[in-house]
Homo-oligomer: A and B are copies of this chain.
């Protein structure tokens, strides 16, 4: 097995174990067992336990950004782009449930190295939203008195909190597709009926 493959294998195992038990309750030996390598082998590929988590953030969020940017690229209408973003986000949560769990749990930790990733990969991810908002404001399909920096966090936060429900109880009455639809609808048109605006 090539070096890069083992690197991947260990990261995949880490996603599984961190997702299941959380970073602090996960043992290196759990990850080693899951990856079918010896405990010591992990230290040939990563400096320490934290390094595994940070590498995971960097590499996996990077992939998500590429994925979601690709999905949006063909669309020109910012309103539809927002909808595509929402659906894609939910799709990723479902397809990569364990990764989603790790990100939801560990990206909230406010230790110094985590803060760093809030400022790089993760920021890039939610800046996709503010780019869409900007675009919409330029061509006047979005109100320009709303701050993109607020909207991006609000929209992401809404999707994220909703997806948490599915992660905690996947057999839920709400389908994530329906949720993505409703959340986009709320953000675009509000919960107040059109005639009363």
| CB closest chain-B residue, reference A156 | B161
Total residues of chain A contacting the partner, CB 8 A: 55
- How many copies of this kind of chain does the complex include? 2
User: For the complex, is A142 an interface residue (Cβ under 8 Å from B)?
Assistant: yes
Given contacts A24-B24, A168-B115, A191 and B157 within 8 Å (CB-CB): no
Identify which of A22, A108, A142, A158 gathers the most chain B CB atoms within 10 Å of its CB: A158
Contact sample, A vs B, 29 pairs, CB 8 Å cutoff = A79-B192, A104-B108, A118-B168, A133-B191, A140-B193, A141-B193, A141-B196, A143-B191, A143-B192, A146-B191, A149-B174, A150-B179, A150-B183, A151-B186, A153-B161, A153-B162, A154-B158, A154-B182, A156-B161, A157-B158, A157-B159, A157-B160, A157-B161, A160-B161, A186-B187, A186-B190, A187-B191, A188-B191, A194-B197
